[in-house]
Chains A and B, each alone.
Chain A
């Protein structure tokens, strides 16, 4: 018997060789897989293991939780659908299941936070839950928590301008003007981020950043910088008479009747929620309140879906906006 034949007949050696082959194949496949994953940096570097495995499922879950927050905000009533007919059974269902349009108020508002938190756990790149949670936490009297969630937001989305803009507004609300100025600056640098720069909402966000910056410059006595920022806002939103008037007053060295602080406080306070489910009848009234002293618009809650009211409200922070 030759040596080769003896080796072939040795069963233990054959098994050892087979196992060596298996280990080599698995090792090669593993290293190849690592290289292939590395070739796709967006998938390799971002997201948890769960995010990589579940992908779109997590995004869909996040959207679903966001809708749940919307439903909770409307006290369980979400769909406002046209119906073809009404019969006694429908009447009975309406008696048992409220369908009235209602919102949570005061202390109850925290009930929307659980689905928003879940939405963020499912997809930390979903921007809206950060903005909505921050807005309502501020309204609820917890700006500290709002700031915490916004900071978490820009750790997860470092290139998003909206979170910076919201944080800047929060800083303004809490009187931290220096911090607000920095955040507006960063928001402007990051604009438009992933958003469409041609979108009217995105453009309005930019105009708002300029407006807030202009008001902060004006307050600090940097008149030239204020004029430049007001002009930049005017370019984005031409035809705003009040804005043009304020620019002229500043150019002529006249102190505008309303202080910058009063203007931005009004802009911030009037950022109330806007509900697309509110009927036209609910908004069928004359505007008796004065227009915004800077942009000439009416900052009132039901001013959504009206082109001429497209100011803060177009980006109101409520779940059902999207």
Chain B
């Protein structure tokens, strides 16, 4: 386990050196300050649009960060040929995969903590005292973190057999499709018949249900905390998805041969 944490730590170090997170944070804050400075009919104390837009951007940035970090790790090690000394050490391939995934999802989670705090503080500064429930905010963050863990697992899985560009592109398409299309399938099925209907149902059960991890509506529109049993079910579902992706990643990576000529 220590080796896993060491690998995750290297991912953290790399991300701290890179500028991705800082750029995203500055972008988020800039957009929120612009939103807050707008005069809307001279009314004061409106906060939901700040919260709504801030969370939307957080979801977008978290998703981009999770895909980029997770899909970059293994291809970069291979292209820079640092994978050879790494695997020459007493590190199993499973540990390498889990370490890379853990690093990717925890660094993204840390970025999410900063983003959430920035949004909630700005909402409070704007006069939104009582505009949101702290328990709901905690639940929303927790499920968002599980979402990021799934995306990182999908990215890690795809990067075991593809280069960075391909794995990142497919991760984006897969997760975006799952997030946008899957929740609409129960309605779309009513409009289709035959093969299309069957295809939609296959997609519905095959693709991950990422909509389970989005509590923005509950938080922004102050519906109060969700039922804890539903939260636990969602977390269990998310952990199963992560485990499945990491298992698939291990199956694809455990006997992968590295050729020095490929790397060059």
Residues in chain A near residue B137, CB distance under 8 A = none
Interface majority SS on A: helix, strand, loop or mixed?
helix
Q: A98-B218, A137-B41 are in contact. Are A111 and B46 (CB under 8 A)?
A: yes
The 12 listed contacts between A and B (C-beta, < 8 Å) are A81-B187, A83-B190, A92-B234, A97-B217, A110-B46, A111-B47, A111-B48, A113-B40, A114-B38, A117-B40, A142-B43, A145-B42
Whether B151 is near chain A, meaning CB under 8 Å from some CB there, is no
Q: How far is the CB of A168 from chain B (nearest CB, A)?
A: 21
Name the CB-closest residue of A to B35. Answer: A114
Q: Are B186 and A96 in contact (CB under 8 A)?
A: no
Residue-wise, chain A 94-130 has the 8 Å CB interface mask toward B (1 for contact) of 0111100000000000110111010000000000000
Whether A11 is near chain B, meaning CB under 8 Å from some CB there, is no
Question: Given the complex of chains A and B, what is the CA–CA distance between A295 and B222 in angstroms?
Answer: 41
Question: Given the complex of chains A and B, what is the CA–CA distance between A265 and B214 in angstroms?
Answer: 45
Within 8 A of B (CB), among A69-100: 72, 75-77, 79, 81-86, 89-90, 92-93, 95-98
| Interface segment out of the listed B105-113, B114-122, B156-164, B225-233 | B225-233
Q: How far is the CB of B39 from chain A (nearest CB, A)?
A: 8
Q: Are B217 and A76 in contact (CB under 8 A)?
A: yes
Residues in chain A near residue B46, CB distance under 8 A = 110-111, 113-114
Residue-wise, chain B 24-59 has the 8 Å CB interface mask toward A (1 for contact) of 000000000000001011110111110000000000
Which residues of B pack against A, CB within 8 Å? 38, 40-43, 45-49, 143, 183, 186-187, 189-190, 209, 211-212, 214-218, 220-223, 226-227, 230-231, 233-234, 237
Question: Given the complex of chains A and B, what is the CA–CA distance between A195 and B187 in angstroms?
Answer: 34
Q: Are A96 and B230 in contact (CB under 8 A)?
A: yes
Report the tally of A-B residue pairs with Cβ distances under 8 A.
Answer: 87
Question: Given the complex of chains A and B, what is the CA–CA distance between A82 and B188 in angstroms?
Answer: 9
Specify which of B186, B211, B216 is in contact with A85 (CB 8 Å cutoff): B186
Q: A72-B48, A95-B230 are in contact. Are A113 and B43 (CB under 8 A)?
A: yes
Q: A96-B230, A115-B49 are in contact. Are A90 and B186 (CB under 8 A)?
A: yes
Q: How far is the CB of B131 from chain A (nearest CB, A)?
A: 9
Q: A77-B217, A110-B46, A113-B46 are in contact. Are A96 and B212 (CB under 8 A)?
A: yes
Residues in chain A near residue B217, CB distance under 8 A = 75-77, 97-98
Residues in chain B near residue A142, CB distance under 8 A = 43
Whether A207 is near chain B, meaning CB under 8 Å from some CB there, is no
Q: How far is the CB of B190 from chain A (nearest CB, A)?
A: 4
Whether A180 is near chain B, meaning CB under 8 Å from some CB there, is no
Q: A77-B217, A89-B209, A145-B43 are in contact. Are A98 and B223 (CB under 8 A)?
A: yes
Q: A72-B48, A98-B217 are in contact. Are A83 and B43 (CB under 8 A)?
A: no
Q: Are A83 and B49 in contact (CB under 8 A)?
A: no
Name the CB-closest residue of A to B183. Answer: A93
Which residues of A pack against B, CB within 8 Å? 72, 75-77, 79, 81-86, 89-90, 92-93, 95-98, 110-111, 113-115, 117, 133, 137, 142, 145, 148-149
Question: Given the complex of chains A and B, what is the CA–CA distance between A177 and B14 in angstroms?
Answer: 71
Specify which of B43, B212, B222, B237 is in contact with A110 (CB 8 Å cutoff): B43
Q: How far is the CB of A73 from chain B (nearest CB, A)?
A: 10
Specify which of B47, B212, B221 is in contact with A93 (CB 8 Å cutoff): B212
Name the CB-closest residue of B to A75. Answer: B221
Q: How far is the CB of B172 from chain A (nearest CB, A)?
A: 23
Q: Are B190 and A96 in contact (CB under 8 A)?
A: no
Q: Are A117 and B41 in contact (CB under 8 A)?
A: yes
Name the CB-closest residue of A to B213. Answer: A96
Residues in chain A near residue B143, CB distance under 8 A = 96
Q: A76-B221, A90-B186 are in contact. Are A110 and B230 (CB under 8 A)?
A: no
Q: Are B49 and A114 in contact (CB under 8 A)?
A: yes
Q: Are A92 and B43 in contact (CB under 8 A)?
A: no
Q: Are B41 and A113 in contact (CB under 8 A)?
A: yes
Besides A89-B212, A92-B237, A110-B43, 6 new A-B residue pairs in contact (Cβ under 8 A), listed by A number: A76-B221, A83-B187, A97-B215, A98-B223, A114-B49, A142-B43
Specify which of A82, A97, A137 is in contact with B214 (CB 8 Å cutoff): A97
Question: Given the complex of chains A and B, what is the CA–CA distance between A89 and B230 in angstroms?
Answer: 10
Question: Given the complex of chains A and B, what is the CA–CA distance between A77 and B190 in angstroms?
Answer: 20
Q: How far is the CB of B159 from chain A (nearest CB, A)?
A: 28
Question: Given the complex of chains A and B, what is the CA–CA distance between A185 and B151 in angstroms?
Answer: 62
Interface centre among A81, A86, A97, A149 (most CB of B within 10 A): A97
Question: Given the complex of chains A and B, what is the CA–CA distance between A77 and B183 in angstroms?
Answer: 14
Question: Given the complex of chains A and B, what is the CA–CA distance between A145 and B223 in angstroms?
Answer: 29
Question: Given the complex of chains A and B, what is the CA–CA distance between A131 and B227 in angstroms?
Answer: 39
Name the CB-closest residue of A to B227. Answer: A95
The 5 A-B pairs of least Cβ separation, nearest first, read: A95-B230, A76-B221, A76-B217, A84-B189, A75-B221
Name the CB-closest residue of A to B217. Answer: A76
Name the CB-closest residue of A to B48. Answer: A111
Residues in chain B near residue A89, CB distance under 8 A = 209, 212
Residues in chain A near residue B42, CB distance under 8 A = 145, 148
Q: Are B40 and A83 in contact (CB under 8 A)?
A: no
Question: Given the complex of chains A and B, what is the CA–CA distance between A187 and B245 in angstroms?
Answer: 65
Question: Given the complex of chains A and B, what is the CA–CA distance between A73 and B214 in angstroms?
Answer: 20
Name the CB-closest residue of B to A152. Answer: B41
Q: A96-B230, A97-B218, A117-B38 are in contact. Are A82 and B190 (CB under 8 A)?
A: yes
Question: Given the complex of chains A and B, what is the CA–CA distance between A226 and B113 in angstroms?
Answer: 67
